Structure 1
Amino acid sequence: MKPQTPAAALAALALLLATGCTNAAPPQSPPAPAGSASPEGSHGDRPGLAEAAEPPLHLVAIDAAGQAAMLDLLSGTTSQPARVQPPDGVTTDGRYVFAANSAGVDIFDSGAWTWDHVDHFHYYRAAPRPVGTLAGDGTPTIAGGMLSTAGTTGVFFPASGTAILLDNAELSDGRITEALRLSVEPHAGIIAPLGDGALVTEAGNGGTAARVRAVDASGKQLATAECPAAAGTITTRAGLVIGCADGAVVATADGHTPVLHHVPYPEGAAAPATSFNGRKGRPTVAGTGSDAGVWLLNTRRHTWEWLPTSAPVLAAATADDAAGHVVVVAGDGTVQVYDAANKERVARTEPLLAATLASPDLADHIHLTVDAQRAYVNAPAEGVVHEIDYADGARVARTLSMPTTPVHLVETGR
C-alpha cells in the first residue's frame, strides 16, 4: 500500500525555513553526556539545508547488492541516493548511513537529521549525497554519539586493530576526516565517542575484548575498567554503554574527566546482552543475547531488569515512553509489545515474516527501529517494511514498499 501524505506533513512543508525552536524534549531531561551538547549558534547549518517543523523521518533500505533507497515517511516519496559495496552490516546515527564491509565502510548523508539541544530540538532537511569510503581491514564496528553534526563517530577495524574517530562536522561538509587514530592489538573491538575523546576496548585472550580504556582527544589514557568479552554499544542521554560478559560499563564525562561505572548483572543472570537498541537518546535500552528474554538497562539509574518473553527474541527495542513499551520481534515472526513495569505482553501482531524466516540468507537480516510513535520491521523476502503502532495494540499501520529490497534497514531524521 502506498503511504499517504498526512495533513501534518503539508503544514510542515509550508513552515520550512520559517520554523524556530520546537519544544519537544521530554521533561526533566538531565544534562547530555559531555561532547553531545551543540556548539552555540551554528545548529549544523550549511548551504542547501532547510529547517523543518517536525522530525523529517526517513527509512533507508539497502539491498544485498548495495543499492540504497530512501522513503520519506511524511510525504511517501522515494529516491535511490547511493550505491555502496555489498554491506555486511548497516548502521546510522540518525543522519549518516554507514554501510560496513570487509574492506571498509561506505558513508552517505541521508540529508535528514535532528539537532538535540536537550531542552528542545531543531529539525533539518537537505539533499542526500554520498560522502565517501573509509578503507580498513575487517568489517568494522561503528559507534555514534548523540549528535550527527557535532562530535565524532567511532570506527573499529577488527583485523588490524585500527580504531578511528571521524569528525562529524567534517562529514557534514562531505569530507571524511580523522579526529583520532589508534593502533591496538587486533580483536573484535569497539571505539565509541565519549566527551572529546573515546572509550576503546583492549584485547584479551581469543580475539575478544577484555577491558575498556578512556582516552582523551590525543589518545592519552585517562581511565580503565575491566569488561570481559566486551560486545555491543549504544549512547543515551545519560551515558555511553559498552556491554560486558558480567554486565556493562556506563561511561560519562565530568568536564574532561571520564567516569566509568560498572553495572553488574544480578546474581544468577541469564545470558549476557551482546547488542543494544532503543529509541534514540532515551535512557533505558533493550539488550538482547541468546535467551528468550530481553535485558533492560537503565543508564541513568545504573540498573538491570530482566524481561522474559514468550518466544526467542530476534530483535528488541525500548520506546522508553510513559507506558514503558518494549517492542520485540519474536522467533515466530510476530511483533510483540511488552509493558516493562509489569513484565507482561500487552499486544502482538499476526506472523509477518514467514518467507524471511524460511530463508537462511535473510533470517539474520531482520532489523527493528523505534521512534516516538512507530516501530519499523523489515521483511526482506516479502520485500516490504511493516510500520507498527506499538501504542495501539501493535496495529500494523502501514505495509511499505521501497524501490529496493530491504535487506538492511535504518531510520534517519531522528
Structure 2
Amino acid sequence: MSPRRPLLIVSGTLLLAALAGCSSTAGQGAASAAPEEPSAGHGAITGAAEVAEPPLQLVSINAQGAVGSLDLLDGSEAELGAIEAPRSTATDGRYVFAETDGAVTVIDSGVWTWDHVDHFHYYRSEPSILGEVPGEGPVSVSTGALSTAGATGLFFAGSGEAVLLDNAELSRGRIVETLRVRTGAPNGVIAPLGDGALVSDADGGLAFHDAAGGPVPGAPCTAPSGSITTRAGLVVGCEEGAVVARIERDEPVFETIPYPVGATAERAMSFDARKGRPTVAAVAGDRGFWLLDVRERAWQLIDTPVPLARVVASDDADGSVVALDESGRVHVYGASGEERAATAPLVEVAAGVTLSVDAQRAYLNDPAAGVVHEIAYADGARIARTLATPTVPTFFAEVGR
C-alpha cells in the first residue's frame, strides 16, 4: 500500500453519556475550555480543552532528533522542534521520554486520556519540548496510569541512579524530581506506586520509597527487569517470576507470582499491553510469549512457530495478542495461542521499531520507508492505512491514550 495521509474520521456519540455524568462536559465533537481551577480527579489542567473522543496522534522522531506529530483523526501535522539524536524512546500515552547522550528529553504531546475506571476524559493542549533529565544511560522508563497525577520512573544503568518525576508538575510544563537515589546496581527499575516508588537495589530486592524518600522493606526480586502499571497492580519482572505491588490502606502490599513449575522458557525481560489492562505479555526467548493475568495471578506460556521480537496483549473481549516476529511479520494470536491472522513482512526489525496497540488498531513504524503501518488486528491483520509522518519515524509513539 502506498503512503498516504490519513482521512478524516467522523466521530459518533462515543462516551457522551459518560462525559455528561461528570462536572465538565463536552458536546459531540466539540471542545470546551477546562475550568480555571481544574479538578485533579478528572485530569484537566488550566489551558487544556476537553474533547469527546480520544485525541490520538503519532509522535515521530528522526535519527537527527527532529520531532513531529500526526493527528490520526484529521490528518493535520505539526513540527514540534528538535532534540539531541535519540537512542531509545518510551511513552505513557502523553509524554515521550527520549534517551539522548547523557540525558532523557521529555516531550509533551499535548494530548491525553484520563482513566476514570468506568469512563474516560480526553484532553488537548499545546505540545512542547519540556527539557532534559540528566543521567547516564541506557535508561529504563516506568510509567504510571495517569499523566497529570502520580509519577514516572527513570533508571539510568550507566550510573545506577533511580529518578522519580512528578507528573502533575510535568503537566504544568515543569520537570521536577521528587527522588534521585544511587542504587549501586548496574541494572534495575524504579516504578511509581502510590505516592512513592518501588526501587531495585544491589542486593536483589525491591524497596518502597515513600513520599518522604525513606525506603521501607519491599519484596525479594532477583535481577529485576521490566515493569508495567495495570488496573490490578504494578508488575515488576524478576528472575523467579513477577512481583505485583499495590497500595492498601496507605501501605504497600507485595505478592510474588512464580513462574510455572518446570517452565524452561526464558524469563520475561519487559512487559507490554494495551494501557492499563490487567493481562500483559512478554517475549519468552525464542519459544514464543508469556501471558500474565495479573488479576488471576497466573502465567501462561504460548509457544509460537517463529521467534518473536515484540509482543503486546490487547486484552480485548477476544483475548487478542499482537506480535512482531523477527522477519518483520505481524501476527495476531488468541489467548490460548491459536494464530488468527498474519501479515506479509512489513519492516526490517531494528532497535527503534515499535509495536503499539490500542483498542482498535496496532501501529508499527518502518523507518526505512518513512511510514507507520496502521493495522486492524481484529480484522484479519488488515493494513488499514499507511501513514507518512512529518519526520521519519526512526522512533515513534502513539499518544492521546
TM-score (norm 1): 0.88
- Are 2:7 and 1:4 equivalent residues in the alignment? yes
Q: What's the C-alpha RMSD, in Å, of the aligned pairs?
A: 2.0
> Structure 1 residues 13 and 71 mapped into 2: Cα distance closer, same or farther (>3 Å)?
farther
> Aligned pairs, how many?
383
- Are 2:350 and 1:344 equivalent residues in the alignment? no
- Are 2:322 and 1:295 equivalent residues in the alignment? no
Task: Give the AA of the match of 1:369.
Answer: S
Match of 2:275 among 269, 274, 280: 280
Map residues 15-414 of structure 1 onto 2, 5 A cutoff: 15-17=30-32, 43-204=42-203, 210-269=204-263, 270-340=265-335, 342-353=336-347, 356-357=348-349, 363-414=350-401
Q: Say whether the 8 Å CA contact 1:280–1:371 is kept in structure 2.
A: yes
**In terms of mean alpha carbon deviation, does 289-298 or 125-134 score higher?**
289-298
Query: What is the deviation of 1:40?
Result: 5.3
Aligned counterparts of 1:169 and 1:18: Cα–Cα separation in 2: 19
Task: Give the AA of the match of 1:232.
Answer: G
Aligned counterparts of 1:214 and 1:226: Cα–Cα separation in 2: 12
Aligned counterparts of 1:16 and 1:99: Cα–Cα separation in 2: 30
**How far does the alpha carbon of each residue in 1:71-121 deviate from its partner, in whole angstroms, 9 at most, with x for none?**
111111111213111121101111111101240100011000001111211
Query: What is the deviation of 1:252?
Result: 0.8
Q: Say whether the 8 Å CA contact 2:34–2:48 is kept in structure 1.
A: no
> Structure 1 residues 214 and 53 mapped into 2: Cα distance closer, same or farther (>3 Å)?
same
Number of the residue aligned with 1:207? none
Task: Give the AA of the match of 1:6.
Answer: I
- Secondary structure in 1 matching 2:243: strand
Point out where structure 2 has 5 or more consecutive residues left out of the alignment: 15-26
- Secondary structure in 2 matching 1:169: helix
Task: Give the AA of the match of 1:284.
Answer: T
Query: What is the deviation of 1:219?
Result: 2.2
Number of the residue aligned with 1:27? none
Point out where structure 1 has 5 or more consecutive residues left out of the alignment: 21-38, 205-209, 358-362
**In terms of mean alpha carbon deviation, does 60-69 or 108-117 score higher?**
60-69
- Secondary structure in 1 matching 2:32: coil
Q: Say whether the 8 Å CA contact 1:19–1:52 is kept in structure 2.
A: no
Q: Say whether the 8 Å CA contact 1:19–1:53 is kept in structure 2.
A: no
> Structure 1 residues 75 and 238 mapped into 2: Cα distance closer, same or farther (>3 Å)?
same
> Structure 1 residues 13 and 75 mapped into 2: Cα distance closer, same or farther (>3 Å)?
farther
Q: Say whether the 8 Å CA contact 1:102–1:139 is kept in structure 2.
A: no
Moved over 3 A (4+): 9-14, 39-42
> Structure 1 residues 326 and 384 mapped into 2: Cα distance closer, same or farther (>3 Å)?
same
Task: Give the AA of the match of 1:268.
Answer: G
Query: What is the deviation of 1:182?
Result: 1.9
Aligned counterparts of 2:44 and 2:317: Cα–Cα separation in 1: 33
Query: What is the deviation of 1:161?
Result: 2.3
- Identity value in percent: 50
Number of the residue aligned with 1:360? none
Number of the residue aligned with 1:34? none
> Structure 1 residues 67 and 13 mapped into 2: Cα distance closer, same or farther (>3 Å)?
farther
TM-score (norm 2): 0.91
Aligned counterparts of 1:226 and 1:14: Cα–Cα separation in 2: 49
Aligned counterparts of 2:34 and 2:120: Cα–Cα separation in 1: 11
- Secondary structure in 1 matching 2:42: coil
Aligned counterparts of 1:197 and 1:41: Cα–Cα separation in 2: 18
